[in-house]
Structure 1
Amino acid sequence: MSETGRGAPAQSATADREVVVSRGIDAPRELVFEAFTEVRHLSQWWGPEGFTTTTRSFEFRVGGEWDFVMHGPDGTDYQEWITWTEIAPPERIAMLHGESRDDPNAFESVLRFEADGAATRIEMRAVFPTKELRDEAVEKYHAIEAGKQTLGNLAAYVTANVRKGAED
């Protein structure tokens, strides 16, 4: 079950392995893209509601890595690791996301940033190695709702902080 944010299921060869979430953000796409590419921003909003993020290392370039821990509101720590596989400013970022560099269950994610007048439509598409891993992410970790909350946190952060800074 893929959520496109527009009420229609995604149709593709990998649809049974995907989670897709999108949202409009009232800010130019360059600012939304910047919030994803600079750790000073990313660590402030990344993750679902109630989570915080501690970055251990961050290098935003193709082949670079983001090694971090997400701290859940219940005190649970989640080890996370991302390597950037494609960067096309300010339109697209592709990455491999898992618990560690050699995680066999790591999934691919593509972020698309589409200008919508003075606003931005962002889409996060995660493709898991198997349908079972996708189903586990949705059922056990609430991936669709968590993705929506993460994009909500991004929207709130960009409009309150990044955009304000650009206007100063």
Structure 2
Amino acid sequence: MTTFTTSREIPATVEQVFSAISSSERLARWWGPAGFTNTFNVCEFKSGGRWSFVMHGPDGKNYLNESMFAEVESPTKVVVQHMSEPKFRLTIGLAASPAGTMVSWSQAFENSEVARNVEHIVVPANEQNLDRLTAEVLARK
């Protein structure tokens, strides 16, 4: 297993950050790397809930994603199990910090070879995801 981790401090409360994750309308606005948009088909934001959506790339391609919200612990933790390829488990942790909320982002790939092949995409994409989350939170704080 290979895991990519990053973190970001957002100047907002844990509840404000969690709201940007738990609202399907808000999640659709910021999810994914820069330049991507989303169409959610199903977004059952609860432990065991299904999440099926299409990411629309800036290159005009569509990327189908099938996931499950493996764990939802309001307002501090969300675990997403990505069921379609490439398979990974994303854990998003939220903890109060002196400046607001520390967001930890840990993406564990089942297959290390797959992880190596997508690392050049995943590592910057995770940072872009957190950039977009921060912008969403601050715009609606």
* Same fold, TM-score > 0.5, yes or no: yes
- Per the alignment, residue 156 of structure 1 pairs with 135
SS in 1 for 2:110: coil
Deviation at 1:121, TM superposition (A): 0.9
For the pair 1:144 / 2:123, whether they are aligned, the reply is yes
- Per the alignment, residue 60 of structure 1 pairs with 45
Task: State the TM-score, normalizing by the size of structure 2.
Answer: 0.94
Residues 92-126 of structure 1: CA deviation (Å, up to 9, x unaligned):
11120133xxx5x4211111101113511101101
- Per the alignment, residue 93 of structure 2 pairs with 112
Residues 49-98 of structure 1: CA deviation (Å, up to 9, x unaligned):
11101101111111111100111111011111220111111111112013
For the pair 1:73 / 2:73, whether they are aligned, the reply is no
Percent of matched pairs sharing the same residue: 33
Residues 7-45 of structure 1: CA deviation (Å, up to 9, x unaligned):
xxxxxxx5xx01112111111111101111110110111
SS in 2 for 1:20: strand
- 83-92 or 145-154, larger mean C-alpha shift: 83-92
How many residue pairs were aligned? 141
Task: State the TM-score, normalizing by the size of structure 1.
Answer: 0.79
Gap regions ≥5 residues in structure 1 = 1-13, 164-168
Higher relative strand content: 2
Kindly name which structure, 1 or 2, has the bigger radius of gyration based on alpha carbons.
1
SS in 1 for 2:19: helix
User: Which portions of structure 1, spanning 4 or more consecutive aligned residues, are displaced by more than 3 angstroms?
Assistant: none
